């Protein structure tokens, strides 16, 4: 726990030095993002229907603060998702989420590189590497940046288009892509198919992909971020598609996130990243099970 505390302290110090304001937004909200791949916990207050939901991410609230004029903000705190518990997953876990106004996902990648460096030092690692599960990982930036198209062509034998079969895509990510990522370096996977990033801006030079990036290290998915979509009409259309997917899968229908969609009218260019604190602590303390790094 002492090492975990030092890691979180190092993150807070770095972001404060960069001019970020730490905020605390509600842990219960009226309407989560209607994503088919993430299931929020409902909160019942006696009438048989959920009145609120525990946040699967503080994203909606943080973007609303950006729309009101804040430009660099972050939050560290618990988030909640209905998913299977395992070596890398818990239904309640700790997330760092930060946003930069006027930036894109390239700035987020630079932030991640620095955060890995400073937290490794906070955890007691010397030099430019850490060891996880017997493997030495060089954390000296820049980290490799690899597109989804390239890794799928190389390891899965096919090229995902803008709207690939999601079952096939997700299955190949787990069984063919992630096991073949470099084991001696953290790596950024970037430019996901357009349909696999409902809140990310499409890439101007290739509108079949979205400016989404994920950071992997030691076989762990550590962080996930976007150049944020700020167009209200496009975001609403994407949400309707996701709500349709939820219906098809028999999932609970969420209230429509009207307040969030209206706030996009005032939201300028920005980028945001979510980083799993527990998995980062696993990496830096050589822990194989997430239960070993939480109280």
- Tell me the pLDDT of the chain (295 aa) as tens digits: 899 999 999 999 999 999 999 999 999 999 999 999 999 999 987 777 778 999 999 999 999 999 999 999 999 999 999 977 888 999 999 999 999 999 999 999 999 999 999 999 999 999 999 999 999 999 999 999 999 999 999 999 999 999 999 999 999 999 999 999 999 999 999 999 999 999 999 999 999 999 999 999 999 999 999 999 999 999 999 999 999 999 999 999 999 999 999 999 999 999 999 999 999 999 999 999 999 999 9
Q: Tens of pLDDT along 64-106? A: 999 999 999 999 999 999 977 888 999 999 999 999 999 999 9
Rounded CA-CA distance 110/136 in Å is: 22
The tokens describing 48, both together, are 């048989």
Q: Tens of pLDDT along 230-256? A: 999 999 999 999 999 999 999 999 999
Indicate the pairing of strand 220-227 with strand 72-80. Answer: unpaired
Residue position matching structure tokens 């002492």: 2
pTM, full prediction: 0.96
Q: CA 124, 91, 220, 18 torsion: positive or negative?
A: negative
Rounded CA-CA distance 166/170 in Å is: 6
In angstroms, what is the C-alpha Rg of the chain?
A: 19
The answer to whether the beta carbons of residues 28 and 43 sit under 8 Å apart is yes
């Amino acid at each position: 726990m002492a090492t975990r505390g030092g890691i979180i302290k190092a993150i807070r110090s770095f972001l404060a030095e960069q001019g970020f304001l730490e905020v605390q937004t509600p842990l219960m909200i009226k309407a989560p993002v209607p994503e088919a791949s993430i299931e929020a916990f409902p909160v019942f207050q006696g009438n048989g229907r959920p009145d609120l939901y525990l946040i699967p991410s503080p994203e909606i609230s943080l973007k609303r603060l950006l729309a009101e004029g804040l430009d660099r903000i972050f939050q560290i705190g618990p988030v909640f998702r209905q998913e299977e518990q395992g070596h890398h997953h818990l239904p309640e876990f700790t997330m760092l989420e930060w946003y930069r106004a006027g930036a894109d996902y390239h700035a987020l990648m630079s932030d991640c590189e620095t955060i890995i460096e400073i937290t490794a030092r906070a955890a007691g690692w010397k030099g430019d590497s850490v060891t996880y599960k017997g493997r030495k990982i060089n954390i000296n930036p820049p980290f490799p940046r690899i597109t989804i198209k390239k890794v799928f062509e190389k390891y899965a034998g096919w090229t995902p288009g803008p709207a690939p079969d999601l079952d096939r895509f997700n299955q190949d990510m787990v069984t063919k892509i992630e096991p073949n990522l470099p084991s001696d370096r953290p790596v950024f996977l970037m430019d996901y198919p357009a349909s696999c990033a409902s809140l990310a801006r499409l890439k101007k030079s290739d509108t079949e992909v979205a400016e989404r990036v994920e950071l992997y290290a030691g076989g762990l998915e550590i962080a996930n971020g976007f150049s944020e979509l700020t167009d209200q009409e496009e975001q609403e259309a994407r949400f309707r598609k996701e709500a349709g997917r939820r219906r098809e899968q028999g999932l609970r229908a969420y209230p429509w996130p009207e307040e969030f969609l209206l706030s996009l009218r005032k939201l300028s260019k920005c980028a945001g990243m979510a980083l799993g604190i527990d998995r980062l602590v696993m990496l830096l303390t050589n822990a194989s099970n997430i239960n070993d790094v939480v109280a």
